[in-house]
Amino acid sequence: MRETGYAKINLALHVRRRRGNGYHELETLFAFVDAGDRLSASSAEQDSVKVFGEFAGGLDDPFDNLVAMALGKLPRADGLTITLEKNLPVAAGLGGGSADAGAVFRIVRERFGLPDDWRERAAALGADVPACVESRTCIGRGTGTELEPADDSLAGTPVMLVNPRLPLSTGPVFKAWDGVDRGPMPQGDARAIALQGRNDLEAPAIELCPEIADVLAAIRGTSPFLARMSGSGATCFALFENETARDEAAARIAADHPRWWQMQGNLR
């Protein structure tokens, strides 16, 4: 069996307040790119995970690998050997580990079925894992686990992802947030929310990683209809009206900034 760990982006991310338990109250519009990590699975006597690819080195701790942890959360009659091609950078605002865990849930669902409490099991791995299981545009509230359906008005939209090849952990970015509630996420269809929304973590992320501002300036210079940082960074995305515009932008970024990582695709 083969699956894709679809790259997750936050088209909007509004941080409302800090809860008493230290977590933050969020409102976000999740969307997913039709590209990302690649996973294959085969039957085995016991579970195992093999990792290769450009960013495999970021997963050298077997106790911090969400693929292995996802397998451990799901009861099955047989074991699975998962081979992961790690194409997404680690600690990049793309939910790479969560996307991989979501792909494992889909593999197990197809082969064995999922337990009734699969959402709770997924949330125990990370706040965005439940959204990554379905990998469809949706609204997340609370810590990101309270999901609501969203329309498909942006489905098929060409997208370019760009990262300066600098990891940025989520914890320090949230810690650097100034704590100001700038208001709720707007209402409307997905396109309206994306255009009128914001990412409240963009400023603190730039404070910790100034290169993000360079990426945003570069991709905004390619005339997308929206460019924004995803999640807690450092990956930024640009949305285009057509694939020709996206491909021309990608070629320009590659020529001007050959060391930056990028990926192209379309929103699912």
The amino acid present at 155, given as its one-letter code, is A
Task: Identify whether 117 is a catalytic site residue.
Answer: no
DSSP single-letter state for residue 180 = -
Tell me 62's DSSP state.
G
Rounded distance between C-alpha atoms, residue 159 and residue 224, angstroms? 9
Pairing of strands 48-52, 79-85: parallel
Q: Specify whether 128 is catalytic.
A: yes
Catalytic residue among 8, 37, 73, 200: 8
Instruction: List for the chain the helix, strand, coil content (%; round to 5).
Output: 35, 30, 35
Tokens of 252: 């320009």
Q: Which is catalytic among the residues 37, 100, 128, 200?
A: 128
Contact 14, 27 (CB under 8 A): yes
Q: How far apart are the C-alpha atoms of 24 and 143, rounded to whole Å?
A: 6
- Active-site positions read 8, 128
